[in-house]
Amino acid sequence: MTLVDVRISEPKRYIPGATGDWEVIIGLEVHAQVTSNSKLFSGASTTFGNAPNSNVSLVDAAMPGMLPVINEECVKQAVRTGLGLKAQINKRSIFDRKNYFYPDLPQGYQISQFKDPIVGEGKIVISVGPDRQGQFEDIEIGIERLHLEQDAGKSMHDQSPTMSYVDLNRSGVALMEIVSKPDMRSSDEAKAYVTKLRSIVRYLGTCDGNMDEGSMRADVNVSVRRPGEDFGTRCEIKNVNSIRFIGQAIEYEARRQIGILEDGGSIDQETRLFDPNKGETRSMRSKEDAHDYRYFPDPDLLPLEFDDAFVAALKADLPELPDDKKERFVRDLGLSIYDASVLVSEKAIADYFEAVAAGRDGKIAANWVINDLLGALNKAGKGIEETPVSPAQLGAILDLIKSEVISGKIAKDLFEIVWNEGGDPAELVETRGMKQVTDTGAIEKAVDEIIAANPDQVAKVQAKPSLAGWFVGQVMKSTGGKANPQAVQALVKAKLGIED
C-alpha cells in the first residue's frame, strides 16, 4: 500500500529524546476470528477449548485431493464488518496463495487475499481522553482494507524435551485481517483504536473479541521520525493479544528506535515479539515484503462475486452501532458524552443500561449503572455478564427512590444487600424495615432533640448559616438514615430561622 501522511504533526504528541523531539507512527493489522460454527474452507468446528486436533477435517489436514469450499457465513460476516467500518465493499474479490513456511499449516501455504480484498477503505473515529479539562478528542483513523484468510495451527514447544507438538484446531479458522492506515501517533491512540474496533465487531456479532482466547490479536507496526520528515523504517511486533500490552510494546519500541537513531545507527526492518514479563520487544526475524510471499491466485477457488442485493440485505439487518447509540443517549436521554461513552463501550453494558433506563430518568439510571454497578463489578473483578444485580432489580431500587419509599442513602444499603444476597428490592424494604421516615412529626421531634442538645452549635449557625448541614447530618444519623432528607433539611432551617 502507498503510505500517505494525513495527520498534522502536533507537539503535544512528540516524544522528547536526547537530541530533540521525535514522532511515533503506528499502523495496526488486527486479526479478528470470524464468528461462525465452521472454518473458512471446511466444515470442521471452531469451538474453543476442544481437545487438541479434534476440530480437524481432511481439508484442514491437507489430505491429497481435498479441495477448499468457501463458507458463505464467513463472507457475510466480513461484509457486515466492512459495513460497520463504513468501508467500500468489493463485490468481486480473489483468494490468493501466500507461500511461506508454516510449520503448523499442513498445506504449506496460506489462503489469503492480496490485491483484491473483500473490503476496501473505511474509517473508525476514536475518542482519546479525558484530558485535564475533562475533554475528549475525536480522531479519524483510516482503514486500508479488510481481507479474509485462514488461521494457522499452534506449535507447542514445551510438551517434550526433544519434540514439538502441533495442534491443528485453529488451522483453517476464518480470520478477518483489518489493516489500518499509519494514522496513529501515540500508544493511547492505538489502544483506543483496538478498543473501538473490538466494540464494533462485538456489536455486529462478527467476532467475539476475546483476546485472551486468541480470537483477536494485533500485529503492531512502529516507526519514528523527526517531526515533519518522511516515514521512518518500521518494525512489526507480532501477535500482541492484550490492549495493555499493545500500549507497552509501542512505548518500548519507540524508545528503542529513538535510542538507536540518536546513537547514529539505523533501523532494520524486522519482525519482533513483545515479552510482557520483561516489558520489551526482541528480534524474531527479518521482515518480509509482499514479493517475498510469492502471491498468486488460488487455482482451487473461483473469484468471489456477489451483487448489490446481497450487500443491501446485510446492511438492512445491521444493529445500532456504538457511535450511533452514543449520539442517541446524549440527544434523547441528556447524558454527558463521557457517560454515554462508558455505557456504549460494550454492547452488554449498553443493553443493561437501556433495560434499567426504560421508562425512568436516563441520567439517574446512568449514574447508578456507571458508579454503583460498574464500580462494584470492577472491584469484584467481574464483567457485566456476571452481575448479581439484574436490570430489573436495579430498576426496582430506582423506583423505590422515586416514590420516596427509600432515600438515596438507604438505596445504597439496599443495593449492597441485593448484590450479596439477591431478592426483590421492594420485599427487602418491607421485611427489613428499611422504609424512610416521612412522618414530619417524628422528624420534627428528632430535630428538636438535636438542637436542644447542641446550643453551642446553634450559636455558630446563627453566625454562619452554611453550618446548618451539621444538624441535618446529626438528624439523619439519629434516625439511622431513614428520615426523608428533604424534610429534615426544611425543618432544620425552619427551627434555626434560616432563610433560603
Render pLDDT for 333-353 as a digit per residue (tens, 0 to 9): 999 988 999 999 999 999 999
Give, in words, the CATH class of 440-496. mainly alpha
For residue 21, the cross-strand partners are 16
**φ, ψ (nearest 5 deg) of residue 479:** -100, 10
Cell of 104: 503448523
d(CA 404, CA 384): 28
Residue recorded with cell 425552619: 494
For residue 403, pLDDT over 80 is answered with: yes
C-alpha cell at 411: 438505596
Q: Is 177 exposed, middle or buried (0-12, 13-18, 19+ CB in 10 A)?
A: middle
pLDDT of the residue at 131: 75
71 Cβ neighbours under 8 A, 6+ residues apart: 36, 38, 39, 40, 41, 174
Work out whether the CA dihedral 391, 393, 394, 399 comes out positive or negative: positive
CB atoms closer than 10 angstroms to residue 433: 8
User: How are beta strands 109-112 and 270-275 bridged, if at all?
Assistant: unpaired
Nearest CA among 279, 4, 55, 90 for reference residue 174? 55
Helices H, strands E: what count in the chain? 16, 16
- For 372, other C-beta atoms within 10 Å of its C-beta total 18
Is the separation of the CB atoms in 272 and 282 below 8 Å? Answer: yes
Contact 174, 36 (CB under 8 A): yes
Is pLDDT at 440 greater than 60 in this prediction? yes
CA–CA dist 168, 258 (Å, integer): 40
Nearest Cα neighbor of 95 from 73, 64, 63, 71 is: 71
Question: How far from each other are the two terminal CA atoms of the chain, in whole angstroms?
Answer: 69
pLDDT band at 444 (very low <50, low <70, confident <90, very high): low
More confidently predicted of 477 and 426 = 426
Question: Residue 411 gets which letter from DSSP?
Answer: H
**From CA 273, how far away is CA 153, in angstroms rounded?**
18
CATH 1.10.10.410 intervals, the chain: 440-496
> Among 85-99, 198-212, 371-385, 486-500, which stretch is predicted with the lowest mean pLDDT?
486-500
pLDDT, tens digit (0-9, with 9 covering 90-100), for 14-38: 999 999 999 999 999 999 999 999 9
Whole-angstrom distance, CA of residue 281 vs CA of residue 289: 21
Residue 439 has pLDDT above 80, yes or no: no
Q: Which residues are within 8 A (CB) of 4 and not within 5 positions of it... i.e. 6 or more apart?
A: 181
Closest CA to 149 of 212, 105, 181: 105
Q: Which three cell numbers stand for residue 31?
A: 486479526
Q: What is the pLDDT of residues 76-102, one digit of tens each?
A: 999 999 999 999 999 999 999 998 777
Which pTM was predicted? 0.85
When pLDDT is cut at 50, 70 and 90, the band that residue 474 belongs to is: confident
Rounded-to-integer distance, Cα 55 and Cα 259, Å: 46
* Rounded average pLDDT over 408-437: 89
**How many Å apart are CA 270 and CA 179, to the nearest integer?**
18
Q: What is the pLDDT of residue 60?
A: 92
The pair phi, psi for residue 243, each rounded to 5°, is -65, -40
